[in-house]
Structure 1
Amino acid sequence: MAVLHEAPAPTIDPSNPNILRWDGIGLMLIRDFITAAEEAAMIEAFHARDPLKEGDMKPKKRISQHFGHHFDYTTFGASETHFTPVPLYITSFLPRLPIQSYLPDQFTVQYYPPGSGIPPHVDTHSMFGEALYSLSFGSAVPMQFRMSGPNDARKMRLPKRSAQTDNTESTTSLALSEQSHKPDEEQTPTWELLLPARSLLLMTGPSRYGYTHAIRPRKTDVINGSTVQRQGRYSITMRSIRRGIEIGCDCAFPGVCDARIREEMAGGRDEVVSVP
């Protein structure tokens, strides 16, 4: 398990103390992005579509719903054939997103039972636009961030497989395994950012392309010095789809870039695992 380091200090927006920015890595957190009433309506709408079975109010597996063009867990892009209209509880808050030039059109809504997590991963570069949004509601959870390293690059070059074996949210070309951390991962600072209920996380730049993000599977979290029992959590992951000539990436993180990896494989070049 990686050793946690102290999280970098954010810049607080002078006009709104609920907006926190980590400008050096392109990360933003907006607390209380939605209201408690909106949150309750979202949870009700989610379970109206996917009701919990009687006597199973605490399901052991995640429940996923897709809107717009469905996320495709075999291509790690957007499906060309599966489309579900986006519900009002999502479209109503889209005008409040901080980057209107990156309005998402693919949405994955998930319920996470207490104790579940997300393996470390870097979301697909080539198939989606730069801005990656994640709205958390239902309960708070800490998310871990770590600059990707050579071991992550090696994992990205393993034979491609679907990451949807257990209904997970992982959206990489290959989900980065949580098994046996290599020394380069242990030496790379890993830090946690608490995602409060009703908060919006925005990843751009390095945090989008070069950092892995994860949620450790555990029953409790230490929040503000107190041990807190983890509760059920919901999230909406929002992406903008790239199509046709838009597909591709020229980021500064070729080690974990699916577009560069395809170029390497097509060119027959030796494996490149360097990560800036």
Structure 2
Amino acid sequence: MLDDFLIRAALAGVGVSLAAAPLGCFIVWRRMAYFGDATAHAAMLGVALSLTLSTPIFAGVLLISLLMAVTVSTLSGRGYAMDTLLGVMAHSALAVGLVAVSFLSGVRINLMAYLFGDILAVGRTDLAIIWGGALLVLVLVGYRWSALLLSTLSPDLALASGISPRREQLVLTIALAIVVAVSIKVVGVLLIASMLIIPAASARRFSRTPEAMALMAAVIGACASVSGLTLSYHFDSPTGPTIVCVVALLFVVLNAAHAVTRRMRAAHEHPTPCLDRQD
């Protein structure tokens, strides 16, 4: 079954969706969209490092993403404005990575594959890395779920309960670095943040519990990955951007459906009174 490149690509997309869903929920709840974007952009520097040292791409991307996430988390509490800091570090890391790659001699590199993903080129080893990373993230986030949720809702209450918000922030940082490292082959450096944020944002309005939101985000992400892969195959469009287009379309459709349903429910509960006409 794994000899079919489309099967491998579909499994890779589902694996990334499962890993990104719960983490994306915390990013949405904590309003950390820029944080995820900065970590993803730093992955390009990790690609350059891996190619220079002839090491696996996953190792270099994981190392640099983790360093970026830890650096941002450390500096954010020392008088730096978070949005400014993330903007500077995200674009600087991406630019340095692109320049570093251009100086590599004797190395053939498809830059577009790292920027926008190359899911159709996923091999058995890549598939093992993606699913291994996804399972690691799910176990890590599942093990710390209650503590992560409490520190997200109320850091003061978490401290009173003996939970360190900074420690939980570090758990999210490690999980984010792993997701970025396993996702680069699927959607690329520039589109990783979209697979983290958009499925979670789509599921937010239809979920009554945090667990339901994470589960629904995983389903939305997986459906978008498979649908985007199918459309890309039939229309010969770039696969990574097509997947993101599908998940963005699902976001629009689901929000529109929610708005219509809410208006219909409001009209049913509070009908407009009829005025009797008198001749």
TM range (shorter): under 0.3
TM-score, length-scaled by structure 2: 0.27
TM-score, length-scaled by structure 1: 0.28
Structure ranking higher in helix proportion: 2
